[in-house]
Structure 1
């Protein structure tokens, strides 16, 4: 088992989302930390709200990273500080510490209308500074790496691709309350699931377009939406309410705990995820690991990650999505084939491999510390 270059202390890991409601970055933080520790890497968790080695308390994440974190690092410089949030390295170097930054996507730059203006400018300015300081940049897909190098070609020698894992997903075990909740939903056997936030980038409107088309043709289906509101989700939420009032069977369940979330995913006839862009696209890979037939879009990293194990449609092709949904709902044999192909594709992505690639990035950062 290869370990990081000999160090005088543990790797300092950005844990600013450790105690927060689970988001993609929060899940990445927890799973990466577990996998690194399983491979013998000592970690110091930095900036969690109440836990870890250096909790930030009531401070906001940005204020802590810019103000308090540099002082903490200078007091006892770690060999490596690894920031996980796309752009959030300290603004100055700490002597003796190598900097590693994970870049998940460049959505605020490439799709600025999907984030607030303040966050767009924060991302733009802070990322530019972080790229000048990072000794190694970890991109979670070839797609993200290509997007990064298109804008910042000078960072190519310091950039590596380390895909994330999906083997945190297992067959869910529900307690009695969870079973009662799902039973109370009275879902039909062959429902279609979308899971993720309801922001514009996720393109939930395309699923609604497909549902409207099929309902008009006399082939309705039940659509379950599991995910939280996000920036810009008001328009799609208004549309969902209108479609429900017109008789479409849409169950908007909001954010659900992981056991419920994965139970819904495993029991769905289809999982549909027509996002306009993903730096990786974990939800469809989670569904594929559970054996749920999955349909994605041709955008972003989704073809790279899902391969041939998930049919893909153009993110603007509502007619095409409706046709795929209708065909698969009517073909148990094709769904079985996708149920077998999905877990094989998902098995390529493990957190152990993510940890190995991350450790290699630490090695390189320590060797070429600037």
Structure 2
């Protein structure tokens, strides 16, 4: 870093229910601080150096944040949630923006109309004022450049880390919870939200097909409901009533979440679009054989260590699940390959590349 002062980090999702961006926020802050970077966490609800209190994230970012930056300009302000930079530049401060995906633009039916318009308008402005744009995958970078080719000289790819899964330890209460579930040895896990984009229906399609052939399996779903998840939740209830073993567990705290992931025979993640795809990489880090789709960044991130099926290919997914459940040897090989692939992604590396982006922003402030 060419500055010894603190970096002002967008912490508006720090105290909120955990999302992918919230996890990114905390892991990046920890990794930067471990490398000696001073971090001012700005806009968390109650924690950090500049909490926003009862203000909504949008009103705080547009109304309060610019004044805070002007009163004591940091060398860099880093916004972390796709589009949420202040609308105007602050003299003396470089702006950096992380873009995770363009879901509201590329898959508009998966978000509300209000959020879609907010995303579209605010992102266009944020890309105008940003000195450096961090994309979490080459896939996301190409999505951005397809719509906003003018930002190419200011854009860099900085992948996420995944070694945060090494930390959570399961306590006695968590062990009791998992024991009470009575899960069979070889269950299949999907982990993530239940929204349309994540394509949970394809996993349910595969389960129905295999059950009809006399090859049932237990499917565990760990994740919260999201925009548009009502249809999937209704279908899950119907399948359970018909006798399929579907366990919808909802949101689980990290120790339980990662224990479920580590103990699964297979992890399945056939998303229609991902800017990065952290859950399958987490499963791979934990040694769980993983199946993904061919969509978005998933082939880029998972490489050859995870079989990939087209997001519309229910028969193909059923065939891969059936084959792997019947082949412990192939699962062991995928487990080893997954660990090797996931070892390439550490938060220390993310922090190093992010620091390089800060330096570039400081040297090329517009």
Fold equivalence (TM over 0.5) = yes
CA distance in 2 between partners of 1:6 and 1:57 (Å): 30
List per-residue Cα deviations over 1:222-272 (Å, max 9, x = no partner): 000000000000000000000000000000000000000000000000000
2:2 is matched with 5
Count of aligned pairs between the two proteins? 366
1:154 aligned residue: 150
Of 263, 267, 271, which residue of structure 2 is paired with 1:267? 263
Match of 2:159 among 148, 151, 163: 163
Alignment of 1:179-190 (within 5 A): 179-190=175-186
Alignment TM-score, normalising by the size of structure 2? 0.99
- The correspondence for 2:323, drawn from 318, 327, 347, is 327
Which digits, 9 at most, give the CA deviation of each residue in 1:293-317, with x for residues without a partner?
Answer: 0000000000000000000000000
Task: Map 1:10-25; keep pairs closer than 5 Å.
Answer: 10-25=6-21
| Pair 1:232 & 2:231 matched | no
Matches within 5 A, 1:355-370: 355-370=351-366
SS at 1:300's partner residue? coil
| CA distance, structure 2, for counterparts of residue 164 and residue 25 of structure 1 | 11
Instruction: Find the aligned partners of 1:234 and 1:268 in 2 and give their Cα distance.
Output: 26
2:48 is aligned to 52
**What's the counterpart of residue 124 of structure 2?**
128
Normalising to structure 1: TM-score of the pair?
0.98
CA distance in 1, matches of 2:151, 2:340: 34
Residues 309, 366 of structure 1: CA spacing in aligned structure 2 closer, same or farther, 3 A cutoff? same
Post-superposition offset of 1:172:
4.7
Q: Which runs of 5+ in 1 are unaligned?
A: none
Q: Which residue of 1 aligns with 2:74?
A: 78
1:33-67 residue CA offsets vs partner (Å, 9 max, x unmatched): 00001111111110000011110000000000000
Classify the secondary structure of the residue corresponding to 2:98: strand
**Matching residue of 2:28:** 32
Q: Which secondary structure state, in structure 1, belongs to the residue aligned with residue 292 of structure 2?
A: strand
Which 5+ residue runs of structure 2 have no aligned equivalent?
none
Q: 4+ residue stretches of structure 1 with deviation over 3 A?
A: none
Deviations 1:112-160 (A, max 9, x none): 0000000000000000000000000000000000000000000000000
Q: Distance in 2 between matches of 1:51 and 1:195?
A: 28
